[in-house]
């Protein structure tokens, strides 16, 4: 059995700290600009106090822009003025910094998620402290040559 590239056991060691986030009141137009300017599959949605409220992905945008059965597309100008909170997903699957890397791998495989928000619960609302992606995990799991 091959060992991990480094002796890494916790998500805190592989996650991206202070990831790029969006606010619930951000316009969809501004969100599209963020997706165009950053190579990301999604963004955590946080309140001003850092509480995780949801996640918004490119798939959420596609759902919103889905053509109807006669292939008419929705009016983009109307949709672009909507807010992230209108299209984001709540009830997000998360991990905590101390969770094992293997747990994040299993969650991503089972759910087909590309990213997982990393939150600190501490008895209250989940505060976003990082983000772990499939790429973060692959960098750890693929042995160095």
b vs e for 51-69, b when ≥16 Cβ sit within 10 Å of the residue's Cβ? ebbbbbbeebbeeeeeeee
**In the predicted structure, residue 59 carries a pLDDT above the cut 80:** yes
The pLDDT of residue 139 is 87
67, two tokens: 């053509």
CB 116 within 8 A of CB 94: yes
The pLDDT of residue 145 is 64
CA distances from 97 to 8, 35, 109 (A): 12, 26, 19
**In the predicted structure, residue 84 carries a pLDDT above the cut 60:** yes
Average pLDDT, whole number, for the chain? 88
**In the predicted structure, residue 90 carries a pLDDT above the cut 90:** yes
- For 108, other C-beta atoms within 10 Å of its C-beta total 19
Break the chain down into helix, strand, coil percent, rounded to 5. 35, 25, 45
């Amino acid at each position: 059995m091959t060992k991990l590239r480094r002796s890494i056991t916790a998500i805190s060691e592989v996650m991206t700290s202070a990831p790029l986030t969006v606010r619930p009141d951000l316009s969809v137009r501004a969100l599209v600009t963020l997706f165009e300017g950053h190579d990301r599959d999604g963004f955590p949605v946080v309140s001003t106090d850092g509480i995780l409220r949801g996640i918004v992905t490119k798939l959420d945008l596609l759902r919103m822009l889905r053509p109807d059965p006669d292939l008419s597309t929705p009016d983009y100008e109307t949709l672009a003025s909507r807010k992230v909170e209108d299209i984001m997903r709540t009830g997000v699957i998360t991990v905590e910094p101390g969770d094992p890397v293997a747990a994040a791998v299993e969650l991503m495989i089972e759910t087909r998620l590309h990213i997982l928000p990393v939150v600190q619960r501490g008895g209250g609302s989940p505060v976003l402290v990082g983000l772990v992606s499939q790429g973060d995990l692959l960098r750890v799991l693929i042995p160095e040559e």
